[in-house]
């Protein structure tokens, strides 16, 4: 069964003059980490809201076309059941924190209590995710006194702790420092390795290049490309959508344009290092033959 099938979907928010999604046809499989990239306003968050069923129940507007989530038409899902099946981290951590809990621990535990998880399981899950995110020291604190980045980690931890089958994650690292961003990506990659299906919106292209299995490229409400990350980052659709490439990819293209190509287009630093090492070995062998 597929994660999602969208066929010719157009969505216009109530009172908006133009469509936020336009003629989107997209097939998402389970067990993959999909990265969604595109400039501001290209429709990434709207796509997340649709996959999570917030459109059209919460965000009003007109949906045309067909949306199937886990083999079931979106309209046939019970919203509460969909919420349990698909965990969603929103791009604004300020709206995701409940504001009714006195400690970070209770904030992260909140969703688990609603699911009826036992107290000992709650303690295990909250301590384990907090440890991985480096927020153990925050657990006794009041959530209202946290910095933006700390809030973002708590919002992320609250959703991850719930262990949903599918995760839709919108810009989880927008307020995080580089080490914390990396930790968040590693947690997401581990979840994928444990069989979860993940749709992740993120602007940090180097992290996307390293961790996403496949990329969905959006531009002006349309999906303009979808495919394996390395292939997509080398494709012209990325330029047309104004999405930046990783620096190592730009560098490889620049070398190619002056006739000194690496013979491959890397999208991560380890790939670039391997390509350069192979090129240097080739040059040494050549020099040896010439001598
Ligand atoms: N609640 C809303 N009501 C009306 N229009 C909206 C609403 N939310 C988003 N839009 C519009 O829909 C379009 C797509 O917005 P969306 O938030 O999906 O883009 P995005 O790619 O997630 O952008 P960003 O990178 O800035 O988060 C934009 O033109 C935006 O102005």
The range of the structural domain enclosing residue 252 comes to 246-291
184 and 288 in a common domain: no
Q: How far is the CA of 27 from the centre of ligand 1 (A)?
A: 22
Judge whether residue 160 has pLDDT over 90.
Answer: yes
Residue found under tokens 């020291």: 137
Find out whether the beta carbon of 41 lies less than 6 Å from any atom of ligand 1. yes
258 and 186 in a common domain: no
How many Cβ atoms from other residues are within 10 Å of residue 231's Cβ?
Answer: 13
Judge whether residue 96 has pLDDT over 90.
Answer: no
Judge whether residue 80 has pLDDT over 90.
Answer: no
The residue among 245, 261, 280 that closes a domain is 245
pLDDT of residue 180: 93
pLDDT of residue 290: 64
pLDDT of residue 110: 93
66 and 173 in a common domain: yes
Percent of the chain scoring above 70 in pLDDT:
96
Residue 254's DSSP bridge partners are: none
Q: How far is the CA of 95 from the centre of ligand 1 (A)?
A: 16
Mean pLDDT score of the chain? 92
Residues 6+ positions from 128 with CB-CB distance below 8 Å: none
270 and 193 in a common domain: no
Mutate to test the pocket of ligand 1, among 44, 54, 57, 63 (most ligand atoms within 8 A of CB): 44
241 and 251 in a common domain: no
Q: For the chain, how many structural domains are there in total? A: 2
pLDDT of residue 94: 67
237 and 163 in a common domain: yes
Greater pLDDT, 34 or 281: 34
pTM of the model: 0.92
Residue 42 Cα: closest atom of ligand 1? 21
258 and 189 in a common domain: no
124 and 260 in a common domain: no
Q: For atom 29 of ligand 1, which residue has the closest CA?
A: 41
Judge whether residue 228 has pLDDT over 90.
Answer: yes
Tokens at residue 147, please? 């910095």
253 and 238 in a common domain: no
273 and 210 in a common domain: no
28 and 84 in a common domain: yes
Q: How far is the CA of 241 from the centre of ligand 1 (A)?
A: 16
Find out whether the beta carbon of 45 lies less than 6 Å from any atom of ligand 1. yes
Average pLDDT (253-257) is 94
Q: How far is the CA of 211 from the centre of ligand 1 (A)?
A: 25
Find out whether the beta carbon of 49 lies less than 6 Å from any atom of ligand 1. no
Where residue 156 sits, what CATH number does that domain have?
Answer: 3.40.50.300
86 and 55 in a common domain: yes
Mutate to test the pocket of ligand 1, among 35, 43, 49 (most ligand atoms within 8 A of CB): 43
pLDDT of residue 287: 67
């Amino acid at each position: 069964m597929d994660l999602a099938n969208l066929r010719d979907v157009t969505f216009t928010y109530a009172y908006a003059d133009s469509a936020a999604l336009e003629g989107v046809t997209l097939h998402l499989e389970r067990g993959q980490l999909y990265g969604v990239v595109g400039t501001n306003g290209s429709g990434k968050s709207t796509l997340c809201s649709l996959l999570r069923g917030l459109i059209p129940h919460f965000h009003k507007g007109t949906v045309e076309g067909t949306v199937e989530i886990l083999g079931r038409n979106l309209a046939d899902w019970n919203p509460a059941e969909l919420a349990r099946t698909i965990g969603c981290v929103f791009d604004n951590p300020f709206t995701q924190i409940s504001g009714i809990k006195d400690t970070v621990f209770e904030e992260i535990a909140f969703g688990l209590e609603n699911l009826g998880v036992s107290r000992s399981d709650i303690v295990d899950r909250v301590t384990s995710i907090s440890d991985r995110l480096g927020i153990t020291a925050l657990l006794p604190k009041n959530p209202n006194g946290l910095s933006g980045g700390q809030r973002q980690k708590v919002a992320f931890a609250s959703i991850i702790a719930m262990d949903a089958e599918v995760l839709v994650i919108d810009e989880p690292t927008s307020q995080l420092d580089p080490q914390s961003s990396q930790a968040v990506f590693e947690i997401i990659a581990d979840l994928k390795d444990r069989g979860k299906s993940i749709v992740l919106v993120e602007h940090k292209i180097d992290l996307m290049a390293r961790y996403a299995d496949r990329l969905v490229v959006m531009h002006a409400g349309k999906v303009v490309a979808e495919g394996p990350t390395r292939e997509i980052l080398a494709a012209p659709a990325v330029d047309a959508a104004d999405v930046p490439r990783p620096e190592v990819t730009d560098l490889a293209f620049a070398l190619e344009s002056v006739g000194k190509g690496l013979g491959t287009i890397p999208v991560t630093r380890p790939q670039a290092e391997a390509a350069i090492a192979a090129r240097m070995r080739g040059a040494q062998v050549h020099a040896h033959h010439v001598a």
